[in-house]
Structure 1
């Protein structure tokens, strides 16, 4: 294959013709993948891309039994491996990559990025996938009876307590300043599901717990963002972290969890107001989290930052959401130049609703929770979010993010930067 796309996988103008060519294109893809196993990866990627450009909806329909079953990201990739040989990396290839440091990986996640990019680009297939990912996880459904009965759940990196109608989520990765990895993404999505599904919860609070890290012993920290140490060692995945985080718990905080309660005439999503209380700093993913909650309080010694340029990666959906809060010029300064914002700076008023001295923050949090109670608050925040963020625009952003972030993960500059951050013994702040 030398720059052209085989005719069997080229798009055609006629829908019936495309459907008729689908089996032939599928067989051609499998044969080409076998022949090109030892070829430069770019050639096979071009073939996979062309096949999906022509047949995305047919592929997705087959994998989901005509949209009658919802598959999560990892499940969808696994199903594609079995149904369409050569379309995505094999489970063995992905497992081998997961065992390696980031610098030594073969880059198979780039092929997953191609796959999810094409699925999400399609209004029909991507819309169904985004909708599927708003449903509660199996883990959350298993834990829900216990949480509703006791009002408590210890998920590992997140502790939950329901008190006075408030689900209080405490981020408790005290060893790494709440720097996120795949494990914490799973815990956070479970916690968000539980908070939204429990009828006794009226609103939700997110706050960092006290740290044991030598530099911050006994001090609350909100979030240091992505765990760069985990990224360096190969422990940050495209599917389990970078895509699941945005399409999972962050999107659920913003839009709500999808429930099937038998009332087809009602909205399928259940949402509630969210408050974030920020101690010490909200860096990277921590700052991204602030963009999807309804009210943000910060201690006066807090700072906010999105050091994406220093790390070389894309800061999730912050590029999509931040300018709504700050305007485009300041958003570019924050994302492209690493501009840091102290909570006491006038610019912080665009991102933080209240700033208090550290010893007054607890009381201020409780006052804000009292103000945000009530069913009218919940429905109005829902309508504000519907007006502010178009679901189709979010899906299209995530389509491009899937591929561009995969490419960034395996780029030479990211590997070099992350290696330097960690080998110098720098605290893994994102």
Structure 2
């Protein structure tokens, strides 16, 4: 009788050592108070046990990541997204990564009471992405259309619009207009908005009548910008401070999901087709007021960027203590190394009225000229030759192997940053005001 995938994975060298080390850590944690109440001796003991367990996980994955991934995906016949992959790995090798229930419980705890389970997930994700065999398959899995988008597609084709809580999708004259509309927080992103954005991007790429995608912020209700459009204030700092930004569901899903789909398109049944397979379309970003942090990262994924006069671009991740996703990879390509360091490391803003703006914005127009400028850009981008050439430009500028290895390192470094004391100190400054992600940063 043939053994099951779980049994085969359990027989891999080092798997039982991982499970035993994590069980020993759990026994130690059971006898300790919550993280913030532990004595220095207890903290040292937990850190030592956790370090031993993680060293064993790393050693196991160095030798067995391809076999593990093959078993979990049935020889690459199953396309598992990150959350499903981690859930399957938690069952196959108990203790390798936290179970979904344990991760969900961790997300509800304040930062000072978290155990840092994201770091364990990062070890697995990083090894999978570094693998020349498993990594490309995971990228393809994350760029397949979501089930939610497939369910909503008939409504979009029938009515020409879909209303999500965070994003409105409307199809007009061959263009899908995606309007971000978290009016209360200046489109500062949280887990929900990332899910809505991926659904919206999927819809634009799936809908046959759509030939161009347009991203723009909606009209705000916050007193400081009431009645004005705002593109995005980046990550929701209140959610980050509260520990409610999910590592898998936000920080990694955002990069491997909707942003990767904007740049590299949707994968699916024709992935191995001789003509390229992935569904790609040109993308335009229309920037009103500002694009901060994650908003600036969106611009770097788009083909054309229009900005209203007086708008600015800012990527202050180093000031927040975290890493701006693939922003470091993409910003250097368009702005050069020196300007990139000024923007990322010391928080330089680039406004539309300075010479450097030409590196980040393709066209600057008066506020009352934005609508007409969008129409002009859609017309320019609405061409099969544009689609083919953007594919080749992105292949040259961001080959999948480079993107994959960058994300493998990002997965580990971002997880470590989340639990650094300076991150918690910095986001605290923004947790007491009425606005998460305020541009005053």
Query: When the two structures are superposed, what TM-score results if normalisation uses the length of structure 1?
Result: 0.93
Instruction: Compute the displacement of 1:104 (Å).
Output: 2.3
**Whole-angstrom CA distance in 2 between matches of 1:185 and 1:220:** 20
Q: Say which is worse superposed, 255-264 or 177-186, in terms of deviation.
A: 255-264
**Whole-angstrom CA distance in 1 between matches of 2:98 and 2:270:** 37
Equivalent pairs counted in the alignment come to: 412
Q: In structure 2, which of residues 359, 376, 388 is the aligned counterpart of residue 367 of structure 1?
A: 376
* Corresponding position of 1:76: 85
**Whole-angstrom CA distance in 1 between matches of 2:381 and 2:12:** 55
Going from structure 1 to structure 2, the CA distance change for 1:143 and 1:425 (only over 3 Å counts) comes to closer
Instruction: Compute the displacement of 1:122 (Å).
Output: 0.8
**Whole-angstrom CA distance in 2 between matches of 1:358 and 1:399:** 40
**Whole-angstrom CA distance in 1 between matches of 2:182 and 2:353:** 27
Contact between 1:89 and 1:111, CA under 8 Å: does it hold in 2?
yes
User: Within 5 Å, which residues of 2 pair with 1:388-399?
Assistant: 388-399=397-408
* Corresponding position of 2:159: 150
Contact between 1:159 and 1:169, CA under 8 Å: does it hold in 2?
yes
**Whole-angstrom CA distance in 1 between matches of 2:433 and 2:307:** 31
Contact between 2:145 and 2:202, CA under 8 Å: does it hold in 1?
yes
SS in 1 for 2:430: helix
Instruction: Compute the displacement of 1:423 (Å).
Output: 2.4
SS in 2 for 1:36: helix
Q: In structure 2, which of residues 409, 416, 424 is the aligned counterpart of residue 415 of structure 1?
A: 424
Instruction: Compute the displacement of 1:20 (Å).
Output: 11
Contact between 1:77 and 1:112, CA under 8 Å: does it hold in 2?
yes
Contact between 1:103 and 1:232, CA under 8 Å: does it hold in 2?
no
**Whole-angstrom CA distance in 1 between matches of 2:252 and 2:396:** 24
* Corresponding position of 2:316: 307
* Corresponding position of 1:221: 230
Structure 2: gaps of 5 or more residues: 1-7, 29-45
Contact between 1:283 and 1:429, CA under 8 Å: does it hold in 2?
no
Alignment partner of 1:42 is 2:31:
no
Instruction: Compute the displacement of 1:136 (Å).
Output: 0.4
Q: In structure 2, which of residues 322, 334, 351 is the aligned counterpart of residue 342 of structure 1?
A: 351
**Whole-angstrom CA distance in 2 between matches of 1:35 and 1:187:** 40
Deviating runs (4+, > 6 A) in structure 1?
A: none
* Corresponding position of 2:301: 292
Alignment partner of 1:250 is 2:239:
no
Contact between 2:9 and 2:15, CA under 8 Å: does it hold in 1?
no
SS in 1 for 2:133: helix
Alpha-carbon deviations, 1:210-233, whole Å to 9, x = none? 001111111000000000001111
Alpha-carbon deviations, 1:101-128, whole Å to 9, x = none? 2232111111111111111111111111
* Corresponding position of 1:172: 181
Contact between 1:298 and 1:355, CA under 8 Å: does it hold in 2?
yes
Alignment partner of 1:378 is 2:387:
yes
* Corresponding position of 2:325: 316
Instruction: Compute the displacement of 1:429 (Å).
Output: 3.0
Going from structure 1 to structure 2, the CA distance change for 1:263 and 1:341 (only over 3 Å counts) comes to closer
Contact between 1:298 and 1:356, CA under 8 Å: does it hold in 2?
yes
**Whole-angstrom CA distance in 2 between matches of 1:34 and 1:20:** 18
Structure 1: gaps of 5 or more residues: 1-18
Instruction: Compute the displacement of 1:66 (Å).
Output: 1.1
**Whole-angstrom CA distance in 2 between matches of 1:424 and 1:197:** 40
Instruction: Compute the displacement of 1:302 (Å).
Output: 0.3
User: Within 5 Å, which residues of 2 pair with 1:131-146?
Assistant: 131-146=140-155
**Whole-angstrom CA distance in 1 between matches of 2:436 and 2:243:** 17
Instruction: Compute the displacement of 1:22 (Å).
Output: 5.1
* Corresponding position of 2:193: 184
Contact between 2:9 and 2:92, CA under 8 Å: does it hold in 1?
no
Going from structure 1 to structure 2, the CA distance change for 1:44 and 1:358 (only over 3 Å counts) comes to same
Q: In structure 1, which of residues 226, 232, 235 is the aligned counterpart of residue 241 of structure 2?
A: 232
Instruction: Compute the displacement of 1:264 (Å).
Output: 3.2
Contact between 2:335 and 2:359, CA under 8 Å: does it hold in 1?
yes
Q: In structure 1, which of residues 113, 128, 148 is the aligned counterpart of residue 137 of structure 2?
A: 128
**Whole-angstrom CA distance in 2 between matches of 1:83 and 1:109:** 18
Alpha-carbon deviations, 1:178-224, whole Å to 9, x = none? 00011011001111111011110011110000001111111000000
* Corresponding position of 1:31: 20
**Whole-angstrom CA distance in 2 between matches of 1:325 and 1:95:** 38
Alignment partner of 1:351 is 2:367:
no
